[in-house]
Amino acid sequence: MQKPEKIFRIGAVSASVFVNSTEDGRAFRSVSLQRSFKNGEEWKTASSFALSELPSAVAVLQMAMSHVAEREGQSEPMEQTATAADK
């Protein structure tokens, strides 16, 4: 399993940045969002979030977005675009 380049964490919520490459060798980054929880003695992760966890999710995603933009040479993170789900 590939190790993340960087992990941003607030409480149980984290965003992990991974470096990948295209077939022609160009690097790009992807972000995985998860929350950790303990089930008995075992730690697990999930990709669903309660309302109370959403502020942490937004914050770690913003940190990851800034990191990726900096590493990929963008001075400003891209503007948000509305999707059909936003309406």
Q: The pTM is what?
A: 0.79
DSSP states of the chain as a string?
A: -PPPSEEEEETTEEEEEEEEE-TTS-EEEEEEEEEEEEETTEEEEES---GGGHHHHHHHHHHHHHHHHHHTT-SSPPPP---GGG-
- Every domain of the chain and the residues it spans: 6-73
Residue 75: how many CB atoms within 10 A of its CB? 6
Residue 20 has what pLDDT? Answer: 93
- Spatial neighbors of 61 by CB under 8 A, at least 6 apart, are 15, 31, 33
Q: What is the pLDDT of residue 74?
A: 72
pLDDT of residue 42: 97
Per-residue pLDDT of the chain (87 residues; tens, 9 = 90+): 789 999 999 999 999 999 999 999 888 999 999 999 999 999 999 999 999 999 999 999 999 999 999 998 875 555 555 455 554
